[in-house]
Amino acid sequence: MLRHLAICALAGLALFAVYVSNGRFLESTDTFGAELLPISILQQHNLWFDQYYVDPNSPLTGSASVRPGSIPPEFEYRVAPETDNERIAWWFRLRNGHVISYFPIVAGLVNTPVFAVASWLGVTLAENVMALTHITAAAVAALSVLAMYACLVQVSRKRTAVFLSVAFAFGTAVWSTNSRSLYQHGPSVLFITLAVALLLTRRQALVALAGLCLGLAIFDRPTDAITAALLGLYVWRQQRSSFVGFAALAAIPLAAMALYSQVAWGSPLALGQGNTPDLFATQPSEPLQAAVGLLLSPNRGLLAFSPIFVFSLVSAVYVLRKRIGPPLIPYLLVASVLTYGLYCFWSDWIGGHTYGYRFLIDIIPVLMLTLAVSWDRLIAPRAVARAAFSFALLASIYIQGLGAVTAPCGYDDDPNNINYHHERLYDVANGEIARCTEMQATAIRALASNTS
């Protein structure tokens, strides 16, 4: 047992080293709050971002509203409004006299320990935000792979669990997105995968602890409430003796979310963020286009960027028809379908400027688990299926590797903003993968010519 744990720890460290090695952390307006929140916590002892603005209530707008000296000039873009008529950046909000993050704060809380250690070591936090946050993102991604292995080893042979854990680590957006940017998806995948690993043990105390993980997942990304609700139903129906503990532990982060929502947003039902359920009524959606695009678009589709999940979809049908695997699986599959359906009605279903299937990252642990359940019956015994999966895995690793070491490649902005030109989502020849391939090939040719 100790030897197995030691090997897992070494594997986790190796994964972390790979994830953090290229130093290519990717920032986004969605992540600025998570990157800067640790500084507010450690230096201002609060959850606000007031220190970056002269006075949020003043008439100053644009870059003039940023307090001089509050942030190194080269990093002012993290807090400066994007237009000259805004008082604060849109990814923040002014509520009750304080500047707060528009997005949930859990990713920023997860980021704080690394900043705390760096501060203790004398590192200047404001000048090393990207490097420190990349450490957090890489660590979270590596831990999610270990949690995935803890799931897989409970439903398949150890050899299969190791193989599919590698596929999860390098053939999915865990590598291209979660390991190099601190979106909500990184902690979300970690919390959900941990919860599933705990539930699969069917041990009363560990099943109850899964409730805490799912409560944290909801606080981090409120759409995870779908998965949490289905897993709560599973515990009620299959592990009822654990339900009280499960619900009690889940209530802790949910109470914290309600308290933060009340203090920051003025309502305990604000879900800790600016996005609220009424966006479905106020912003137009395109569900039919999204239903196809989320799966098949060559520039956003799940199956285009991780072809291995074609086998997961086939496996899901097989598992349900044959009724194999742990009783948890059907609940997870229903949760995944409902999550996919939710994003079909999301106004910004493409996920903005990103690489691949960002909005569907949260369901990939379920897809990998389903694949593992059917592996020894559906894929392993068939040479053609094994060969096809191997090809799909190599393609997935190549595409995710491109995202990790090359993206962004200009696709989202050139020749126009992809947010407003969804017809370009089906451009293969001049799409994201093609551009990144050409960019990487150019870099390799330049390196070869310089060394020759």
DSSP notation for 210-268: HHHHHHHHHHH-GGGHHHHHHHHHHHHHH-GGGHHHHHHHHHHHHHHHHHHIIIIIS-T
Give per-residue pLDDT as tens, 170-187: 999 999 999 999 999 999
Query: 81 preceded by cis ω (within 30°)?
Result: no
What single letter denotes the amino acid at residue 409?
A: C
Instruction: Locate 292 and state its tokens.
Output: 């196809």
Q: Stretch 227-233: mean pLDDT, rounded?
A: 98
The CA distance from 449 to 445, in Å, is 6
Task: Check whether 112 has a pLDDT greater than 90.
Answer: yes
pLDDT in the model for residue 96: 87
pLDDT in the model for residue 6: 83
Kindly report the average pLDDT of the chain as a whole number: 94
pLDDT in the model for residue 280: 58
Model confidence at 164, in pLDDT bands (50, 70, 90)?
A: very high
pLDDT in the model for residue 384: 97
Model confidence at 391, in pLDDT bands (50, 70, 90)?
A: very high
Distance of CA 298 to the CA centre of its chain: 20
Give per-residue pLDDT as tens, 9-18: 899 999 999 9
Task: Check whether 325 has a pLDDT greater than 90.
Answer: yes
Q: Stretch 15-36: mean pLDDT, rounded?
A: 94
* Closest residue by Cα to residue 113 from 127, 132, 98, 96: 132
pLDDT in the model for residue 443: 86
Please answer whether residues 148 and 368 qualify as being in contact, where contact means their C-beta atoms are separated by less than 8 angstroms.
yes
Task: Check whether 118 has a pLDDT greater than 80.
Answer: yes
Model confidence at 251, in pLDDT bands (50, 70, 90)?
A: very high
Q: Stretch 41-53: mean pLDDT, rounded?
A: 96
Q: Stretch 81-102: mean pLDDT, rounded?
A: 92
Task: Check whether 281 has a pLDDT greater than 60.
Answer: no
pLDDT in the model for residue 285: 78
Please answer whether residues 272 and 259 qualify as being in contact, where contact means their C-beta atoms are separated by less than 8 angstroms.
no
pLDDT in the model for residue 102: 97
What single letter denotes the amino acid at residue 335?
A: A
The phi and psi torsions of 58 (rounded to 5 degrees) equal -85, 165
The phi and psi torsions of 92 (rounded to 5 degrees) equal -115, 170
Report the share of the chain in percent with pLDDT over 70.
98
Report the share of the chain in percent with pLDDT over 90.
87
Phi-psi region of 417 (alpha: psi -120 to 50; beta: other; left: phi over 0): beta
The DSSP H or E segment spanning 92 is strand 92-95
DSSP notation for 247-258: HHHHHHHHHHHH
Instruction: For residue 100, give the DSSP letter.
Output: E
Q: Stretch 208-226: mean pLDDT, rounded?
A: 98
Q: Report in angstroms the alpha-carbon separations of 20 from 191, 255, 346, 446.
A: 21, 34, 32, 24
Q: Stretch 410-436: mean pLDDT, rounded?
A: 94
Model confidence at 93, in pLDDT bands (50, 70, 90)?
A: very high
Give per-residue pLDDT as tens, 150-163: 999 999 999 999 99
Q: Which range, of 15-24, 128-137, 192-201, averages the lowest pLDDT? A: 15-24
* Closest residue by Cα to residue 403 from 174, 182, 187: 174
Please answer whether residues 402 and 440 qualify as being in contact, where contact means their C-beta atoms are separated by less than 8 angstroms.
yes
pLDDT in the model for residue 59: 83
Please answer whether residues 302 and 294 qualify as being in contact, where contact means their C-beta atoms are separated by less than 8 angstroms.
yes
